[in-house]
Amino acid sequence: MGCSFNCVYCYINGSKYAKETNNYYVKSNASDLVYKKLKKLAKNQERAFLNLGSASDSYMEIEKELELTRDILKIFLRFKYPVHIITKSDLILRDIDILRKINEIAILPEDIKNLKSKVCITFSFSTIDDELASLIEPNAPLPSQRLNAMNKLASEGFHVGVALMPILPYLNDDIENLDNAVKLFKKNNASYLILGALSLFGNNDNSSKIKYFNFIENNFPEILVNVKKLFYNREYPSQKYQNDIYRKIVNICKKQDVKTTMI
Ligand code: SF4
């Protein structure tokens, strides 16, 4: 729980998942629990697509040493479960050997049994700019490293795409920037793009909202007033802002022939 990548916009800051993202701890018995659970599900023939990486990244630096994600993937393989991994890290390349085997033998749930790949990998980006990323995602591998990893994994035949989230108001949401981002994702073989708005919670010093406002004040003071206005009394940008930005991106994706759903 928690996440060493420590992105400034991370919604788990101050939440039940972690007081501070980089103050993380390891669930050392995770693979035992996964083993028990999947053994039971497989016995009952309950099939599912399993998801890794929703409120933490499965490929933080410490994973190099612990190999906890690798152990969990081996259990998925043993019980033939397909997997969807969301990550910001090229460390996932280390586990290509297991992912290949999962892709060969996993059993898909009945309602999506025609899906071509049993391994889906979504790389998460808030920007394609390495310099900006070093500021807002200080400990995560750079976008350029993620793009290389995405290319490699797509060439393996896995279903690979992008989560463009969060979209950061006044930082990465202009049309030229979005257009360039989609071009680059496509060039690196992303076959889909899903998107999400920035969400900022809480009002205490550890909360994602206050941390993000402080970050903007220190680094991009010229947009602070507008950002605060957008989040005044709410946790998401206004519905109008969200509708506008979604429409823009969906149009860009249509023009460039990139799907905006995973399947
Ligand atoms: S990679 Fe995801 S979970 Fe980790 S700090 Fe960044 S936004 Fe939070």
- Determine if ligand 1 sits within 6 Å of the CB of residue 198: no
* Count of beta carbons in the 10 Å neighbourhood of residue 39: 13
Task: Identify which of 1, 7, 62 to mutate to test ligand 1's pocket (most ligand atoms within 8 A of the CB).
Answer: 7
Q: What percentage of the chain carries pLDDT values higher than 90?
A: 87
Interatomic CA distance for residues 37 and 53, integer angstroms = 18
**β-bridge partners, 192:** 259
pLDDT tens for 197-222 read 999 988 888 889 999 999 999 999 99
Residue at 6 is within a domain: no
Residue at 178 is within a domain: yes
Interatomic CA distance for residues 188 and 256, integer angstroms = 13
Q: How confident is the model at residue 22 (pLDDT cuts 50, 70, 90)?
A: confident
User: Residue whose CA is closest, atom 4 of ligand 1?
Assistant: 3
Distance 3 CA to ligand 1 centre (A): 6
Mean pLDDT computed over every residue of the chain:
94
Q: How buried is 262 (Cβ within 10 angstroms: 0-12 exposed, 13-18 middle, 19+ buried)?
A: middle
Q: How confident is the model at residue 17 (pLDDT cuts 50, 70, 90)?
A: confident
Domain count, the chain: 1
Distance 13 CA to ligand 1 centre (A): 9
pLDDT for the residue 216: 98
- Determine if ligand 1 sits within 6 Å of the CB of residue 208: no
User: Residue whose CA is closest, atom 3 of ligand 1?
Assistant: 56
pLDDT for the residue 28: 92
pLDDT tens for 224-260 read 999 999 999 999 999 999 999 999 999 999 999 999 9
Residue at 19 is within a domain: no
Q: How confident is the model at residue 63 (pLDDT cuts 50, 70, 90)?
A: very high
Residue at 249 is within a domain: yes
Residue at 22 is within a domain: no
Residue at 12 is within a domain: no
Residues 6+ apart with CB under 8 A from 186: 256, 257, 258
pLDDT tens for 128-176 read 999 999 999 999 999 999 999 999 999 999 999 999 999 999 998 999 9
Residue at 16 is within a domain: no
Residues 6+ apart with CB under 8 A from 31: 68, 71, 72, 75
pLDDT for the residue 23: 79
CA-angle at 98, arms to 97 and 100, nearest 5°: 70
Residue 171's domain comprises 30-255
pLDDT for the residue 213: 96
Q: What is the CATH number of the domain that holds 155?
A: 3.80.30.30
Residue at 15 is within a domain: no
